Amino acid sequence: MKLISETLTYKTSGNTDILDITGDVARCVRETGIAHGFVNLFIPGSTAGLTTIEFESGVINDLKDAIDRMAPKNIPYAHDLRWGDGNGYSHVRAALLGPSLQIPIIAGNLALGTWQQVVLCDFDNRPRQRRVLLQLMGEV
Residues that bind a copy of itself (CB under 8 A): 1, 3, 5, 36-38, 40, 42, 44-46, 51-54, 56-59, 61-63, 66-67, 69-71, 77-83, 88-89, 91-92, 94-104, 106, 111-113, 115-117, 119, 133, 135, 137-139
Identify which of residues 10 and 95 has a Cβ nearer to a copy of itself in the complex: 95
Please tell me whether residue 37 adopts helix, strand or coil conformation: strand
Q: CB of 33: closest distance to a copy of itself in angstroms?
A: 15
Cβ 102 vs Cβ 38: under 8 Å = yes
Q: CB of 126: closest distance to a copy of itself in angstroms?
A: 15
Task: Please state, in angstroms and rounded to a whole number, the distance separating the CA atoms of residues 14 and 127.
Answer: 5
**What are the φ and ψ backbone dihedral angles of 113, each rounded to 5 degrees?**
-70, 165
Q: CB of 27: closest distance to a copy of itself in angstroms?
A: 19
Q: CB of 13: closest distance to a copy of itself in angstroms?
A: 19
**What are the φ and ψ backbone dihedral angles of 137, each rounded to 5 degrees?**
-135, 140
Identify which of residues 30 and 36 has a Cβ nearer to a copy of itself in the complex: 36
Name the residue among 88, 62, 84, 60 with its Cα closest to residue 74.
88
